[in-house]
Amino acid sequence: MSDKHTRMLDYLLRSPEWVTAGELAEHLGVTARSIRSYVTSVKTAADPLDVIESGPAGYRINREAYAAFRTAQPPRIAQADTPQSRVYHLVRRLIDSTAGLDVYELAADVFMSDSTVEADLSRVRALLSDTGLSLARHGSVVTLLGSETDRRQLLSRMFREESTRGFLELAAIQKEFASNSLAPFKTDLIAMLDAQGYFVNEYGTNNVLLHVAIAVDRVSKRVAAAHADETPVIAADLTALLAGLIDTHFGVVLDVADLAYLVLLLQTRVVTPGLDETADPIGASLARTEDLAVVRRIVAQASEEYLVDLADDEFITRLTLHVRHLIDRAQAQDYSRNPLTRSIKTAYPMIYELAVYIASELQRQEQIRINDDEIAYIAMHVGSYLEQRSRTEELVTCVLVCPNYYTMHAQLRQRIERVLGDDVTVVHQVTRSDVPWAELHADLVLTTIAPPVPSDAVIVIQPFLTEGDVHRIREAAIRVRRLRRRAQIKDHLLQFFDESLYLRNFVAPDEETMIRELGGRMVARGLIDQSYIDGAIERERMSSTAFTDHLAVPHAMAMTAQQTSIAIAVNDSPMAWGESRVNVVALIAFSAAGRASFQSIFDQFVEVFTERADVQRLIKRSVGFPSFIDELVHLIDK
């Protein structure tokens, strides 16, 4: 399949709903007619599996059928029916042959014409232009000239480029290098690294496995070692452990130079130092002082620019270790591929933008180029830290009441923290039977003895936690988080809405009259002046501010309000607004200082009015300002 076919399938895989031909065409930059042709081609290639379902709503992937289709397909690099795959196999044979290849014998061997082989040799010459390798020809014999290091790097590059979207699949590596030992080797490698206290980057592991497979393949053919000038830059015991694993699984003994290169790859692509028992970063001793200073400065700038708090020593240390390896890779122009780059850019645009900022400062500081894949790895560091901090802040606090009896209270707490650690955090434990109930301050109280007064916030559990207890605690934690979240949304809304600026079933003959009536109330409260109303009317004359079929949001272009606020009219009967008819009119007064904080609430507010059922519910239940706010909170958080 072509790249367009692959991109179309990838887009369908990421889409949970039906996707129209127009949406696919826009994504791929082709016509809807081309999309129909692509779908037909994929269905033909996958027959009898129905990998793409078609319907009135468009197309969607049949995930089970697609998985079966992918499993049945051989790796692209193993096929020899395209110029690219023929070139790959020709390079493999040239690399493996010390005496060279006879062109005519090769043509007969692969059942191709002499002219086809000559054309493929021309493609090989073009491929070698920047590799340090070259072709020498004497009569009909062609020989590949160059170092063993350059040969291995060419193999690695070609394999990565031929693998689907750059993601190295373990099955493809095993098939290409005829080795069934890579999967168990990988399992033992990860276990060994974990035992040594390292965090493992799974996305970089298969890249190292590719180099292991190449090294084992080359050494087993009695080829000299590569990378003779490399020396290990990580602990010698790791080198010894890696050598033992390779010998055990492949029956091959690599020399110091090969092992040094593989250890270097592990260090720069796979492992990050973990934490010791005192929770101090082991990596702090490995991070260079100058690198820490640079990263700390850049992170401080990013924090100020994007209004996020990244001032955490552990995060900065880990990012510094990653940055050091990133710089090494960038200087060698040997970047790590990241299969999540596209999804990170799409799903987490602000985190990715923050990573772009950090990368741009690193580029200026180090005079290097950082590509999208490496930026996505920075985003993974940033996103992981922000998510961890966010989850910690969202945890529901609880007090555990369990009278002391041998170690029962300690065992109960350990089980709660192990099973429910993602939902609750125990902030205090009471081990006495005379419980000071009035002094227990937390979101929930988990108790093995009944309280004197029942409460939704007090959950009676068994001394030996049951599945029923776990379920009830989780349900209570969900309820607490929902109430907490809705209280936050309500607080944010009340920063911009006020009961004196709420009108119910207010009739106005036209848009300008409605703007003046709502604006007059804002003028009376000192929020805006008459010029803002005039500006809103001028803006409305330029283009209707009916954002949806139910909502109009008139506003002036100038941000001259004393504070950002909203005057709103909610009506049972719609009024004409431009070419639409709206039930809700919200005059927004923007202030320069408050617009940024208002943006997220504004986006959520407008989204409520995109669904007709939600609008009808809001109008029906908003009999007054308090009910309007409560219903708006409910719809935003539904």
Query: Which of 566, 568, 551 has the alpha carbon at shortest distance from 606?
Result: 551
* pLDDT exceeds 60 at position 589: yes
Q: Which CATH superfamily includes the segment(s) 495-636?
A: Mannitol-specific EII; Chain A (3.40.930.10)
User: Using CA atoms, how far apart are residues 310 and 387, in angstroms rounded to an integer?
Assistant: 12
Sequence letter at residue 77: I
Cα separation, 73 vs 329, in Å, equals 33
Between CA 339 and CA 376 the distance in angstroms is 9
CA 512/CA 577 separation, integer angstroms: 10
Q: Does the domain formed by 77-146 have CATH 3.30.70.920? A: no
Residue 585 has pLDDT above 90, yes or no: yes
pLDDT tens, 477-511? 988 988 888 888 888 888 889 999 999 999 899 99
Whether the predicted pLDDT of 268 surpasses 80: no
The structure tokens 């029916």 sit at 81
The pLDDT value recorded for residue 400 is: 95
The answer to whether 325 touches 287, Cβ cutoff 8 Å, is: no
Asked if pLDDT for residue 164 goes beyond 50, the answer is no
More confident residue, 80 or 60: 60
Distance CA 446, CA 477 (A): 11
Higher pLDDT, 181 or 38: 38
Triad 283, 287, 289: Cα angle to 5°: 140
Confidence band for 165, pLDDT divided at 50, 70 and 90 = very low
For residue 94, the SS3 value is helix
Contact between 382 and 310 (Cβ < 8 Å)? yes
Tell me what percent of the residues of the chain surpass a pLDDT of 70.
Answer: 83
What is the tens place of the pLDDT at every residue in 35-78?
888 898 888 888 888 899 988 889 999 888 888 887 665 443 33
Q: Pick from 57, 66, 63, 62: which is nearest to 22 by CA? A: 57
The whole-number average pLDDT for the span 169-175 is 61
Concatenated DSSP letters of 357-416: HHHHHHHHHHT----HHHHHHHHHHHHHHHHHHHHHHHPEEEEEE---STTHHHHHHHHH
The pLDDT confidence band at residue 281, using thresholds 50, 70 and 90, is very low
CA dist., res. 286 & res. 274, Å (int): 12
Q: Strand 134-138 to strand 141-145: parallel, antiparallel, or no bridges (unpaired)?
A: antiparallel
The H-assigned helical ranges of 15-57 are 21-28, 32-46
Check residue 282 and give its pLDDT. 42
Residues 396 and 425 sit within 8 Å (Cβ to Cβ)? yes
Phi, psi of 59 (to 5 degrees): -130, 155
pTM of the full predicted structure? 0.43
Question: What is the C-alpha to C-alpha distance for residues 611 and 441, in angstroms, rounded to an integer?
Answer: 41
What's the length of the chain?
638
Q: By the 8 A CB rule, do 260 and 227 touch? A: yes
Mean pLDDT, residues 406-418 taken together: 88
Reported as a single tens digit per residue, the pLDDT across 614-627 is 888 999 999 899 99
Whole-angstrom Cα Rg for the chain? 32
Residue pair 545/588 in contact (Cβ under 8 Å)? The answer is: no
Mean pLDDT of 289-316: 84
User: How many alpha carbons lie under 13 Å from residue 486 in its C-beta half-sphere?
Assistant: 16
Q: What percent of the chain has pLDDT over 90?
A: 21
Tell me if 491 sits within 8 A of 483, measured CB to CB.
Answer: no
Q: Which residues sit opposite 444 in a β-bridge?
A: 398
For residue 269, the 8-state DSSP code is I
**Which pLDDT band holds residue 279 (cuts at 50, 70, 90)?**
very low
Cα–Cα dist 614/610, whole Å: 8
Domain 395-478, what architecture? 3-Layer(aba) Sandwich (3.40)
Determine contact, residues 96/127, Cβ cutoff 8 Å: no
* CA–CA dist 188, 580 (Å, integer): 65
**Equal CATH topology for 3-73 and 77-146:** yes
Q: Rounded to a whole number, what is the largest CA-CA distance in the chain?
A: 100
Tell me whether strands 141-145 and 271-273 are parallel, antiparallel or unpaired.
Answer: unpaired
Residue with the two structure tokens 């200073």: 293
Domain boundaries, the chain: 3-73, 77-146, 170-273, 282-392, 395-478, 495-636
Higher pLDDT, 580 or 137: 137
Q: Say if domain 3-73 classifies as CATH 3.40.50.20.
A: no
Is residue 163 predicted with pLDDT exceeding 50? no
- Per-residue pLDDT, 229: 47
> Is the predicted pLDDT of residue 81 greater than 60, yes or no?
no
Q: Would you state the pLDDT for residue 166?
A: 40
- Better-scored residue on pLDDT, 577 or 287: 577
Pairwise CA distance, residues 110 & 86, whole Å: 10
- Please say if the pLDDT value at position 181 is more than 50: yes
**Sheet containing strand 551-552, strands side by side:** 497-504, 560-577, 580-591, 551-552
Which range has the worst mean pLDDT, 88-102, 282-296, 437-451, 576-590? Answer: 282-296
Domain 282-392 CATH (choose: 3.40.50.300, 1.10.1790.10, 3.30.300.30, 3.10.580.10)? 1.10.1790.10
State the average pLDDT over residues 285-301: 84
Average pLDDT, stretch 209-237? 63
Close Cβ partners of 368 (under 8 Å, ≥ 6 residues apart): 327, 330, 331, 362
